[in-house]
Amino acid sequence: AQTVTQSQPEMSVQEAETVTLSCTYDTSESNYYLFWYKQPPSRQMILVIRQEAYKQQNATENRFSVNFQKAAKSFSLKISDSQLGDTAMYFCAFMRFNDMRFGAGTRLTVKP
């Protein structure tokens, strides 16, 4: 079974600075999808960014980018120019067909 590990339970960053959240996963498959979801205090799950495993190019979405290292099974999220609204839980997720596995999450606090 696939597993997802987020080794940083909590992180903090100053407003306008850059922060990187770590994620590793374990799978024997070669085709899959990886995601980062944001969960603010409202509890709503919001998709931040997605990476297809067959693509070598790292995904970017505005201030969010990933460093996807397939051989190392690593999928980190970089948030540039951090904003107060980025304060939330961040979950890394692995998906193959209909089986989605989430990590335990990293609580990110952006400080003014």
Partner 1 sequence: NAGVTQTPKFRILKIGQSMTLQCTQDMNHNYMYWYRQDPGMGLKLIYYSVGAGITDKGEVPNGYNVSRSTTEDFPLRLELAAPSQTSVYFCASRGLDPIQVYEQYFGPGTRLTVT
User: At residue 94, what is the residue type?
Assistant: F
Residue from the set 100, 109, 110, 112 that interacts with partner 1 by CB under 8 A: 100
How many Cβ atoms from other residues are within 10 Å of residue 27's Cβ?
16
Q: Is residue 24 packed enough to be buried (19+ CB in 10 Å), middle (13-18) or exposed (0-12)?
A: middle
Our finding on whether 105 is near partner 1 (CB under 8 A) is yes
Sign of CA dihedral 6, 85, 63, 36: positive
Of residues 2 and 65, the one with the C-beta less far from partner 1: 2
> 45 or 84: whose CB is closer to partner 1?
45
Contact letters (x/-) for partner 1, 32-71, by CB under 8 A?
A: -x-x------xxxx-x--x---------------------
Rounded (to 5) percent helix, strand, coil in the chain? 5, 55, 45
Binding-site ranges for partner 1 (CB under 8 A): 1, 4, 33, 35, 42-45, 47, 50, 91, 93, 95, 98-105
